[in-house]
Amino acid sequence: MSDQHLHHAVDLAPGDEEEGRIGPRLLGYCIGFALAILLTATSFFIAGTDLVWQPSIPVAIIVLAIAQMGVHLVFFIHITTDPDNTNNILALAFGLLIVFLVVTGSLWIMANLNQNMPPMDQIMRMQR
């Protein structure tokens, strides 16, 4: 920013960048794009390969997906740890908390129910 005095004067809207010059901004999008392609390619490669221990594949795919979402957030949506971005980060953190609760909560409860439910033929016999 040209004026250092105003540097932290206001918050940043989500999606806005600190950087104003074209060159570094273009470079940012290029780096983000390259990283995203790299992570995607790794994901697709891992999914179809026999080279790694098979049970590790789902974990690897999830880790790669989370990494790629981070890349998108930083390089495309320009979420940073800058003080200007605090509000945006807090909203994001709350959103992620809800997403986490919904997904893991559903999986956990449904897995429990599946385990505790008798097989279908037994239920049919009980209803008779």
Partner 1 sequence: MTDAALYRQSDPRLLGGRPHEGPASKRITTGYGFWIFLLSDIVMFSCFFAAYAVLLGQTADGPKGAELFDLKSVAAETALLLLSSFTCGLAMIAADVRNALWYQIAMAVTCLLGLGFLALEFREFAELVSRGAGPTRSAFLSSFFTLVGCHGAHVSAGILWLLTMMAQVLAKGFRADIMRRLLCFALFWHALDIIWVAIFSVVYLLGSAA
Interface contacts to partner 1, rule CB under 8 A = 1-3, 6, 8-20, 22, 25-26, 29-30, 32-33, 36-37, 40, 43-44, 47-48, 57-58, 61-62, 64-65, 68-69, 72-73, 76-77, 87-88, 91-92, 94-95, 98-99, 102-103, 105-107, 110
CA dist 46 → 30, 37, 39, 50, 66 (Å): 24, 14, 10, 8, 15
* Smaller CB separation from partner 1, 2 or 127: 2
Q: How far is the CB of 122 from partner 1 (least distance, A)?
A: 18
Sequence letter at residue 42: T
Q: Which of 95, 87, 89 is nearest to 73 (CA)?
A: 89
Sequence letter at residue 22: I
Q: How far is the CB of 125 from partner 1 (least distance, A)?
A: 21
Q: How far is the CB of 53 from partner 1 (least distance, A)?
A: 13
Contact 23, 15 (CB under 8 A): no
User: DSSP code of 52?
Assistant: S
* Smaller CB separation from partner 1, 29 or 122: 29
